[in-house]
Copies of this chain bind each other. A is one copy, B any other.
Amino acid sequence: MAPRIVSEEDVLTGLTELFRGCGYEAATLTEIANATGLQKSSLYHRFPGGKQQMAAEVAAGVGERFAKDILAPLGKDGALDERVRAVGRKLTEFYASGHRACLLDALSFGEPGSAASDALKAAANAWADAFASVSREAGHRPAEALALAQDAIAAIEGALVIARITGDNRCFLRAIKRLPASLGLPPD
C-alpha cells in the first residue's frame, strides 16, 4: 500500500475516540491501526513505548485540550454565571450530550501504565481546581469550594456512567443545568 501520511493530530484523535469508546484493554492494536489509518509498525515508530505510551499521550493530550478549550475560558472576564453556563455548553458538546464516555473512566481500568494514570490524575485535579476557583469567586472558602467542585464533577462523571448503561442521558443534562448552583453561585 502507498504510504499514507497522517498528521499527528489525526492519529491522536483516532486513538482518543477509540480508547474513549471501548476502554484501554479492549482497544487492540489492530483496531488502533484501523482507527488511525496507520499500520502497527508505523504506530510503534511514533509511540516506541507501545500501547501504554499511546494511552499516556491520549490522556495528556485530552487533558491539555480540556484545560485550554473548556477550563481556561472560566477564568476570563465577564459575569461569573455566564462563564459557568458557557462551560456547561462546552461540556455538553464535549460529551455529546452525555452519550460519549469520559476518558478518565475509560482509561482507568486495566493496565494503562503509570504515565497514563498520572496524566489522568493531573487532568482530574486541574478540572477540580478550575471549578474550585469559580466557587471561591462566588464567595466560598477554599476547602468548601474544592468540595463543591469535586461533587459537581462527580455528578457529571456519574451521569455519563448512567447514560452509558441505561441510554438515558437526562441525568447528564440535569447535571449541566444545575452546574451554577452546584458550584455555589447565587440563584438568579
CA–CA, A106 and B159, complex, Å: 15
Contact of A171 among B26, B102, B150, B171 (CB under 8 A): B150
A164 within 8 A of B: yes
Interface 0/1 of A132-170, CB less than 8 Å to B: 000000000000000100110111111111101110101
A121 within 8 A of B: yes
Contact A154 B161 (CB under 8 A): yes
- Of the candidates A101, A104, A161, A170, the one having the most CB atoms from chain B within 10 angstroms of its own CB is A161
A108 within 8 A of B: yes
CA–CA, A106 and B157, complex, Å: 14
Residue on B with the closest CB to A154?
B158
Interface size on A, residues (CB 8 A): 40
A133 to chain B, nearest CB (A): 17
CA–CA, A155 and B159, complex, Å: 8
Interface 0/1 of A107-131, CB less than 8 Å to B: 0111100000100110011000000
- Of the candidates A109, A121, A124, A168, the one having the most CB atoms from chain B within 10 angstroms of its own CB is A109
CA–CA, A109 and B104, complex, Å: 13
- Of the candidates A151, A158, A159, the one having the most CB atoms from chain B within 10 angstroms of its own CB is A158
A25 within 8 A of B: yes
On chain B, the residues within 8 Å of A108 by CB distance are: 161, 164-165
A154-B159, A154-B175 are known contacts; what are 7 more A-B pairs with Cβ within 8 Å?
Answer: A22-B111, A105-B105, A124-B165, A150-B168, A151-B159, A151-B171, A154-B161
Ranked 5 nearest A-B pairs via Cβ:
A158-B158, A154-B158, A23-B109, A25-B25, A157-B158
10 contacts between A and B (CB under 8 A): A108-B161, A108-B165, A120-B165, A121-B166, A150-B159, A150-B171, A151-B171, A154-B162, A155-B158, A157-B158
